[in-house]
Amino acid sequence: MPNTPLLSVERLQFERDDCNVFEQIDLTVDRGEIVQIEGPNGAGKTTLMRLLTTALQPTSGTISYAGQSIDLCRYEYLSDILYLGHQPGVKMTLTAEENLRWMAADSNASIQDALAAVGLAGYGDIPCYNLSAGQHRRVALARLLMTDAKLWYLDEPFTAIDKQGVSFLENCMSDHVKGGGAILLSTHQDLAIDGVRKYGISPHADQRGL
Amino acid sequence: MASGFSAYLRRDLLLAYRRRGEAASPLIFFVMVSTLIPLGITPESARLAEIAPGIIWVMALLATLLSTDSLFASDYQDGSLEQLLISPQLLAMPVLGKITAHWMVTGLPLTLASPLLGLMLSLPAEGYVPMMASLAIGTACLSLVGSVGAALTVSLRKGGLLLSLLVMPLYMPVIIFGSATVQSAIDGFAWSGPLAILGAMLAAAIALCPIAAAGALRLTSIN
C-alpha cells in the first residue's frame, strides 16, 4: 500500500478530569518524514506522544498504522515503534552495557559499537549512577542505533545533551528517515535538518481557564 | 511470551544482587524481630513453643509486606515501566517474572532462614518440615497477592499504608492455613490438609494475580 501514510491520526481528543487537553488533532506522517510537534509548555505534547504509544487511551478519534486501526494490529504496531520519553528508562544500578542488552534485547546490533557511537566507549562497564545526566541520555539514545523500529517517537530528545550530541542525534535522525523510517519528535529547538515538517498543537479552551 | 518472563526474572535478580543491602532488609527484619520475642515474652521453652508457629508466620507476613511496596516503584520512577507497558508482548508474563524474582529475594530466604528461628523459639521438632513447606508456598502467595496492591498504588507517592490496607485482608487466609499447617503437625495431626489448601491458593494466585497486576498497571499508567 504505497499510498497510505505510515501513521494517520484522525479527530484525536483526550480528556483529563472532564477537560479536553488539546484541540482536536488530525495528523499524518509518511515514510521518510520528520514531524516536529510544537506548542507551548502544557500544550499536551507529551500527552500526544503517550496517546500515540498506547500508554494512554484516547477519549475519541482513531490512530491508524499503515492504513489499519492500531487496535486491530496492536502487536505489529507496537513492534514497529520506539518511544524515548522524559525518563530515559535507564537503570541506575546496571551498567550502560547491561542496560542496553536489556533495552534492545531483540537486536543483533553490537552494543559496543552503539556505545562507541554515542561517545560512551570505555564507559560500558561502569554503573550508571556514576554517569552524568547527559550520559544517561546518551545510553538511552544508543537504543536508536540498535533498533529496527520504523516509527520513532522522541519526546524532548535533546534534554541534557551537549552540542556534539545534538549533531550526532540529528545525523542519526536523517539516516533513519532516509532508510524509509519516520520520526515524530517534540522539541523547542530548531533542527539543522532539511524538510522537517512542523505541527503546532495548542491547549484546548478548557485548559486556558475560559 | 516466555522470554518476557525469564528476561524480567533475570533482570530483577541482577538488580537485587546489585542492591544487596536493600534486598536483604526483609530477611534482617524477620530475624531481628523474632530474636526479640524470647526477650520480650519469656525464654521459657514450653510457652515459646506454643506461640512459635504463629509468631514465625506473622513475622514472615510483615517482612514480605515491607518489601512489596518496592516491586514496581523503581521501574515507575525511571520510566522502564512505561517502556514495558508499550512493549508488544503480553504484559502478564513480565509481571510474573518480576513477582517470581521478588519471591526468590524475599520469600525464599525467609523459608531457608526459618529453621534458625524455629530453634530460637523452641519449635517442636515435628514442626520444622511443615513450617518450611508452608512458608515456601505461603510466601509465594503473599508475593503474588502483594503485586496487585503494589501495581494499584505505584503512582502514589506514599502508597505504603494504602497498600497494607488493600492486601491485608487477602493475606489473612494465607496466614490462617500457614500457621494451621505447622500447628497440626505439632499437635500430631496430619498436616497435608491445610498445606493442600495453601497449594490451591497458590495455583489460583499464579493464574489470576499476574493478570490482575498487569491490568492494575495499565489503569494506574493512565494518570
pLDDT digits (tens, 9 = 90+) for B57-102: 999 999 999 889 889 988 888 888 988 888 888 899 999 999 999 9
Q: Where are the domains of chain A?
A: 7-208
Residue A63 banded pLDDT, cuts 50, 70, 90? very high
Q: What's residue B61's pLDDT?
A: 93
- Please state which of the ranges A41-45, A56-60, A101-105, A138-142 shows the lowest mean pLDDT: A101-105
Q: What is the largest CA-CA distance in chain A?
A: 55
**How far apart, in whole angstroms, are the C-alpha atoms of residue B91 and residue B177?**
31
> How sure is the predictor about B160, in pLDDT bands with cuts at 50, 70 and 90?
confident
User: Is B21 part of the contact surface with chain A (CB cutoff 8 Å)?
Assistant: no
pLDDT given at position A183: 92
**pLDDT band per the 50, 70, 90 thresholds, residue A101:** confident
- Nearest CB to A54 within list B15, B79, B86: B86
| Residue ranges of chain A whose CB lies within 8 Å of a chain B CB | 53-57, 74-75, 78-79, 81, 83, 85-94, 98, 102-103, 105, 127
- CA separation (Å) from B34 to A37, B41, B64, B113? 58, 11, 14, 11
**Which one has a higher pLDDT value, B21 or B138?**
B138
A85: pLDDT strictly greater than 90: no
Is residue A2 very low, low, confident or very high in pLDDT (cuts 50, 70, 90)? low
Q: Distance (Å) from the C-alpha of residue A54 to the closest C-alpha of chain B?
A: 6
Mean pLDDT, rounded, for B134-157: 93
- Are B147 and B209 contacting, i.e. CB atoms less than 8 angstroms apart? yes
Question: How many residues in chain B?
Answer: 223
pLDDT over 70 (residue B157): yes
| A-B Cβ pairs (cutoff 8 Å, strict) | 52
- Residues B36-55: pLDDT tens digits? 988 998 889 899 998 999 99
Say yes or no to pLDDT of A210 above 60.
Answer: no
Q: Taking CB atoms and an 8 Å limit, are B18 and A127 in contact across chains? A: yes
Q: In A70-181, which ranges are E strands? A: 81-84, 151-155
**Other beta carbons less than 10 A from residue B156's beta carbon:** 13
Taking contacts as CB-CB distances below 8 angstroms, the residues of chain A near B86 are 53-55, 78, 81, 83
- Percentage of chain B with pLDDT > 90? 62
Query: A81–B86: do the CB atoms touch at under 8 Å?
Result: yes
CB neighbourhood size of A175 (10 A): 12
Please name the member of A55, A57, A92 whose beta carbon is closest to the beta carbon of B86.
A55
Considering only CB atoms, A91 lies closest to which of B78, B86, B87, namely B78
CATH for A7-208 is 3.40.50.300
Check: CB of residue A199 under 8 Å from CB of residue A39.
Answer: no
pLDDT at B27: 92
Residues of chain B in contact with residue A94, where contact means CB-CB under 8 angstroms, are: 14-15, 18
The average pLDDT across B174-199 equals: 95
* pLDDT mean across residues, chain B: 91
Kindly state the percentage of chain B with pLDDT values over 70. Answer: 99
Strands A68-69 and A60-65: antiparallel
pTM: 0.90
Segment A6-56, tens digit of pLDDT: 899 989 888 888 888 888 889 999 999 999 998 888 888 888 999 999 888
* Among candidates A56, A86, A93 on the partner chain, residue whose Cβ is nearest the Cβ of B222: A56
The secondary structure of B120-187 as a DSSP string is HTT--GGGHHHHHHHHHHHHHHHHHHHHHHHHHTTTSTT-HHHHHHHHHHHHHHHHHHHHHHHHHHHT
One-letter amino acid of A37: I
Q: What is the pLDDT of residue B125?
A: 92
Contacts of A57 (CB under 8 A, 6+ apart): A51, B222
The answer on pLDDT for A1 being more than 60 is no
Structural domain boundaries in chain B: 2-221
- Say whether pLDDT at B211 is over 90: yes
> Among candidates A73, A96, A189, which has minimal Cα distance to A173?
A189
Phi, psi of A9 (to 5 degrees): -115, 125
Distance from the B76 Cα atom to the nearest Cα atom in chain A, whole angstroms: 9
